[in-house]
Structure formats: C-alpha cells, structure tokens
Structure 1
Amino acid sequence: MEEEKLEDGHLNNSLGSPVQTDVYFPRLIVPFCGHIKGGMRPGKKILVMGIVDLNPQSFEISLTCGDSKDPPADVAIELKAIFTDKQLLRNSCIAGERGEEQSAIPYFPFIPDQPFRVEILCEHPRFRVFVDGHQLFDFYHRIETLSSIDTIKINGDLQITKLG
C-alpha cells in the first residue's frame, strides 16, 4: 500500500475514500495542457492514468511542439480513442499537414467507467505505446527534433488521475 505524508504529519492511504481522494489528490482538469520538462528523448516515458467517462464518445492524448494556436503547434503524435467504432487512431500534424492516419490495433483497450494506464515510451525511431501494461502499437517519429516535443494535451470523455 502506498502512503502519502500530509503536511499535518498524518499518514493517508492514497487508496482512501473518494472524498479523501478529491481533497488530498485533486484530479487534473480536462481539457489539460502541460509542459514536458526538457522535451522528449529516447528512454523518456510519459504516463497518463485516468478513468474513462460512463458514456464516452472519444478522447485524445497528444504530444506537441509547444501549445501555440496560430500557427498551430506541430503534433508529434495524437492518440484518439473513438468508442462508437472501438478505434484508436494515431496521426501527426506538421506545418498544418496531417500525416497518414494509422488505426490497426489487436484490440480496443478502453472500457467506459473503468480506469486505464497509457504509457508512451520514446525510443530512437518511434514511440512505443502501452495500455495497461500491454504493448498496443508503435508509431514511428515524424518529427526529427525529439526535444522540441515538449507539451502534452488531453481532451475528451475521461478524468485524469495521474500524469508522470
């Protein structure tokens, strides 16, 4: 059991009641935009843990080069889970041009109202994506300068419980 030390010196089990969880471990707000310190590099891993909404349509997790709106930031990888079709689409968008979309997966890993764990491992030629510990697919880099990939964006029908 993981324990968190609180400021008042009391220990609190991180798997405590939902009320305690909301008080001591506030959920990350969706839509979410956060900075990846130092950008991506081979060996670096992004962890997204969350819970799918009860009646989800879709959600997206994107790694981008900054968060500018005009011109829009380049998207190194965008994962889009679509529940109606049980698809997990992957793509990039560089200089306003979307790349070739990939959709092949062995199974659809997300279940409404259930927790999930997505890990995006940056390797030299590709991102390797794991869901709940199982490798789901590889996405080969379309952006050469990995360190410029410095922002994570999360949007859609989910709650984020942990980012790392």
Structure 2
Amino acid sequence: MAGSVADSDAVVKLDDGHLNNSLGSPVQADVYFPRLIVPFCGHIKGGMRPGKKVLVMGIVDLNPESFAISLTCGDSEDPPADVAIELKAVFTDRQLLRNSCISGERDEENLAFPYFPFVPDQPFRVEILCEHPRFRVFVDGHQLFDFYHRIQTLSAIDTIKINGDLQITKLG
C-alpha cells in the first residue's frame, strides 16, 4: 500500500532537534510510526540554522565496510541533491572522510584524523552542530572536526541521509 509506514523509504520528521513523536512500545512503533531503517532519508523541518543540532545514535554492524551520514538540500536523486556535508566512515582503511557535493561537483575529501572513533559492533553518538560559519562534528562527546559551509543558504539543508553498515537507534 502506498505511503505505508512499513515502506523502507518512510520519512521521519525532525523538528528543532527532536522527533515529532515519542516512540512507545515496539508494537506501537511498528504500527503508528516510521521505523529507522537503513538506508534512511528524513526531513529536517525548517532546515538547518545556527544553533540547530542533528543527533544520530546507532550501532556499527559486526563486520562493517563503511557507512555515511549526509545533510543534503532535498532528497532528489536525478539530478542529485546538493550535499552540504557528508561524513563517511571507511573501516577497511580506518578513515573518516568528510566532503560536500554542490551542483554535481565533489569537493576534495578531507582526511587526516589522529584516531578512528568507530568500533565494529559498538554504539556511537554523532552530533552535527550548525554554527554560522561551519558545522562542528562531535563523536561520543568529543569534538572531531569543523567543516566550513559550502552552502550559504542554511535553511536549504533540509534532509538527512544515512546508509551503510549500521543500525540507527535514535535520531534527534
């Protein structure tokens, strides 16, 4: 049935950093609310603005290759939506890549971290805080890096996409 909550492309609305609903028992969640299924695509109500934070909590799969968290301007596939920031964890190289893609042009990937914060089969917490000139990215409470805005109209950044080898346990 079209628009069914069980559809894998169900959208969860985010509003000021909080889910619009509180999940009750698992039975209620399956019946009434969209599930946090990977790949995930959700709408950030009102888009980003200075002071707004996106929270992703999850568990890395047991034998991961990679996963990515992206903030984009809409969810268009053709042409692809502009990507304000993409955080990609690559386990084979123990690399954390960050990038953007505007009008189909990818920026140079930024590398070089003193450590790799994700561990297979372990929980994690990623916070992306929007400030005026940049995003500040925290993993498990530690500031990991700053990423300066390539998209100046912050309110246009209104979608979060998550894919790869992880389970999402909470979005806010």
TM-score (norm 1): 0.85
For residue 24 of structure 1, report the CA deviation from its aligned partner. Answer: 11
Separation in 1 of the partners of 2:24 and 2:92?
33
SS at match of 1:42: coil
Correspondence list, 1:1-164, <5 A: 28-164=36-172
Q: CA deviation at 1:69?
A: 1.1
Which of these two proteins has the greater Rg computed from alpha carbons?
1
The DSSP-based 3-state class of the residue aligned with 1:59 is: strand
8 Å contact from structure 2 (residues 57, 169) kept in 1 = yes
Q: Distance in 2 between matches of 1:111 and 1:10?
A: 26
Does the residue aligned with 2:76 lie in a helix, a strand or coil? coil
CA distance in 1 between counterparts of 2:34 and 2:44 reads 20
SS of structure 2 residue aligned to 1:36: strand
Deviates more, 1:77-86 or 1:100-109: 100-109
Runs of 4+ in 1 over 2 A off after TM superposition: 5-27
Post-superposition offset of 1:93: 0.4
C-alpha separation in 2, matches of 1:123 and 1:85: 30
1:27, distance to aligned residue in structure 2 (A): 5.4
The answer to whether the 8 Å contact 1:58/1:82 transfers is: yes
Cα offset, 1:104, TM superposition: 2.0
Q: Distance in 1 between matches of 2:17 and 2:154?
A: 41
Cα distance between partner residues in 1 of 2:32 and 2:156: 33
Is the CA contact 2:65–2:90 (under 8 Å) kept in the aligned structure 1? yes
Q: Distance in 2 between matches of 1:26 and 1:128?
A: 28
Q: Equivalents in 1 of 2:61, 2:115: separation in Å? A: 19
The alpha carbon displacement at 1:51 in A equals 0.2
Contact 1:27 1:161 in 2 (8 A): no
Moved more, 29-38 or 13-22: 13-22
- Relative to structure 1, is the Cα distance of residues 126 and 22 closer, same or farther in structure 2, using a 3 angstrom cutoff? same
Moved more, 102-111 or 71-80: 102-111
3-state SS in 2 of match to 1:6 = strand
Q: Residues 35-68 of structure 1, C-alpha deviation per residue, up to 9 Å, x if partnerless? A: 0000000000000000000000000000000001
1:106 offset after TM fit, Å?
A: 2.3
Q: Quote how far apart the aligned CAs of 1:7 are.
A: 23
- TM superposition shift of 1:80: 0.5
Shift of 1:29: 0.2
- Give 1:16 deviation, angstroms: 13
RMSD: 5.4
Structure 2 vs 1, CA of residues 108 and 21 (structure 1 numbering), >3 Å: closer, same or farther?
A: farther
How many angstroms apart in 2 are the aligned matches of 1:102 and 1:70? 26
How much has 1:105 moved relative to structure 2?
1.7
